[in-house]
Structure 1
């Protein structure tokens, strides 16, 4: 099977931009979050004890079925030599991924949680006439109730943040790298050089002035146009937050990856 790697981490932290840059390499296939992670979980569930026929399924068979998922989804019509699959779920599956794909690497995109929440709230306000799937298409609420929904354990941000901590502090972090949004947008050449080095692939040229990525159909259906929009030119943009000051300060100490003393397994941070 061709090499497969994984993009995970926090939402609104550069995963779509990273995919847009990687796919400039004709040897690579990368995209926004797709269905493979959900299919992976569904297969695990259907092969568990809740299925009366699970007594006939060994761990070796489970592994072959899960590997077959990738073979089938990224089939012969996928001409790329290297696959990058994106899902926030992958940070919770490091042990399984290491077993199935020992050479695979997981790149987790991270960003200060305050700015993640700010970015989502900005999208909500930009699309004032389209309730978003992020909030189950409910049109009510305030910035405070929306934030509570986002950062709860099952919320878009809370689940990804907890999954990231599980991966970062867990015993299976040898194949994990954290890529900071700030690095990706301010120094994309250094960020991509680190990615190439991490996955063991030869460097290739990239155009940071003309990045292309278009999944508008998905975003429109989700009631959140712009959710996966990527600006053509990679650049860091300074702007004030639109969050109330108390809400913004609530998460100012949550960037645990910035503290070297909180990196027991020496996870690579770019």
Structure 2
């Protein structure tokens, strides 16, 4: 009986590393793939599972790379999602919109300080850029409030108090915001178009926009517009607090007063520019 002919066939075949699909990318290559995977969601936020799928990496590898990028402030964690951090956003040069933002921040920060002194709560100054708001400044007390915003950071307009202000009082911003894909950040986020239209109509009547745990479930916020001479918001001011303790009605009058004073300062500034 001859068994020798079967001996080689009975051994399992060893695959080459290429055949086994071994990933030959370096750690730097993989980190770059993760950053590229953010795509148009870089300022909004993407979950680890989705990033790993886009970058064609395992979830554990993606999580490890994100932890490394977070230490260097290239990305930052917002709840269970990640977005670009301050380090990567500071790499670009200053363009015209950046200069406008600097101008608005310099003009309106004194009013933000007035709002903080009057409320002793977290207050924010924001402008609109496309379908997102950009936070130009933020003042907090000694007890930091957990918020999804940071200076220089972006958030979608539809789920924030400041964003609703722009959408309510600027028809172009409303059209842009309604065209945007709306992600349910929390169970409270308004994603239905008709419900959002009703909410914006209420903002136009009351002059105050609310974020009732829509961007972060534990956070409530009220916001008011700082109007330009064109009759649309140049910026927005907001007051935020913990959802279980914040009483918006106690701060609405103060917010309206400060926003009105800021709007008058903007009108004077724009008049000087027009006369120059």
Superposition TM-score tier, normalisation by shorter sequence: under 0.3
> Which structure is larger by alpha-carbon Rg, 1 or 2?
2
TM-score (norm 2): 0.26
Relative contact order, higher structure (CA 8 A, sep 6+): 1
TM-score by length of 1: 0.27
More strand by share: 2
